[in-house]
Amino acid sequence: MKRIKSMNLLGPIVALLLACIFFSTQSDRFLSGQNFSLILQQVMVVGVMAIGQTLVILTAGIDLSCGMVMALGTIVMTKFAVELGVPPVLAIMCGMFVSTAFGMLNGFLVTRIKLPPFIVTLGTYNIAFAITQIYSNSQTVTGLPAALTFFGNTFNIGGTVITYGTVLMVVMYVLIWIFLTETAPGRQIYAVGNNPEAARLTGIPTNRVLLMVYTFAGFLYSIAGLLLVSRTGVGDPNAGQTDNLDTITAVVLGGTSLFGGRGLIFGTLLGALIVGVFRNGLTLTGVPSVYQILITGVLVILAVAADQLTRKKG
């Protein structure tokens, strides 16, 4: 079991290394601490959102609403702080509450009303988007208090400037990894994704596990929202519109199976980094950005094909 799991990370690690080697031969600016710090900053928002997406996909579900739930959270945070004069920390908590509530709504509809996750989150994607637009009147919120952009602050290690936000992302990946591998609720997520019926018969409260996963995913999207605000310095009602596909891309590239029950959280981080490395590297070599999209598409197909082949063997 352990051996097969680490094998799964082999694909994304090899892809990432090959990309890095290729770009370091193409541009002398690629291989530097500063450039890697930059790539981390660029994948940070999608990276944190993709943690939630990974948990959902591990249960054999999917969450199309993530980017919109994030955007709604950011608009609540920024508008509360700027226009209602709510103290920043409280405003952030309000935004987090709204996103988490949306995650809970997803979980409720999936477990209690027994609707397919794809349809549920397609619905909430639209609902969250509309509420965001209506509440903000489609206008960007500016003039944020400093506390809202706290995670944009930086520190310096050996000449490399690192933002707090990227550190938070890495810390979160480590915490979720411990949660998934070392705790009972974490292992229950795998069990439910592998075979919900068998999980139920062994006494795992499958509905409670699913509700927890979707709710927690909503909470994670709000953290991603806070990181987005700290990165851009504004509340943008049009943020996150394609993030559902970007997070799914990261999850798939990381070797997690869309059929549920198989996958590793660090794979997702690698998946997000692969996309970021190609975007950054191709810019440095002067290639138009549309080729990055082309390469991402090819890699996604390869990753899913690899998953299919290993499933057949296993």
Partner 1 sequence: MNLKRALTLTLLCSVSSAFAASQPIIGLITKTETNPFFVKMKEGAQKEAKARGAKLLTAAGKADGDNAGQVTALENMVAAGAKTILITPSDAKAILPAIEKARKQGVMVIALDSPTDPQDGVDALFATDNYKAGQLIGQYAKAAFGNKAVKIATLDLFPGHPVGIARHDGFLDGFGITDKADKRIVCMQDSYGDQAKGQTAMENCLQKDPEINLVYTINEPAAAGAYQALKAIGREKDVMIVSIDGGCTGVKNVQAGIIAATAQQYPLKMASLGVQAGVNYAKTGKKVSGYTDTGVTLITDKKMKGVTSKDTKFGLANCWGTK
> Which spans of this chain sit near partner 1 (rule: CB under 8 A)?
27, 29-30, 34-35, 38, 41-42, 45, 133, 137-140, 142, 154, 161, 228, 231-234, 236-239, 241, 279-280, 283-284, 286, 288-290
CB closer to partner 1 out of 113 and 290: 290
Q: Which two tokens stand for residue 46?
A: 């999608």
> How far apart are alpha carbons 281 and 269 in whole angstroms?
18
Q: Which is nearer to partner 1, 137 or 197 (CB)?
A: 137
Least distance to partner 1, CB of residue 93, Å? 23
Q: Which CB, 8 or 35, lies closer to partner 1?
A: 35
Burial class (CB in 10 A: 0-12, 13-18, 19+), 305: exposed
Q: How far is the CB of 309 from partner 1 (least distance, A)?
A: 34
State how far the Cα of 109 lies from the Cα of 124, in Å rounded to an integer.
10
In the bound complex, what is the minimum distance in angstroms from residue 207's beta carbon to partner 1?
32
Q: How far is the CB of 29 from partner 1 (least distance, A)?
A: 5
Q: Give whichever of 231 and 262 is closer to partner 1, judged by the CB atom.
A: 231
Nearer to partner 1, 95 or 165 (CB): 165
Q: 3-state secondary structure string, 69-113?
A: HHHHHHHHHHHHHHCCCCCHHHHHHHHHHHHHHHHHHHHHHHHCC
Residues 6+ apart with CB under 8 A from 183: none
Q: Which two tokens stand for residue 183?
A: 């705790």
Closest approach, Cβ 191 to partner 1, in A, equals 37
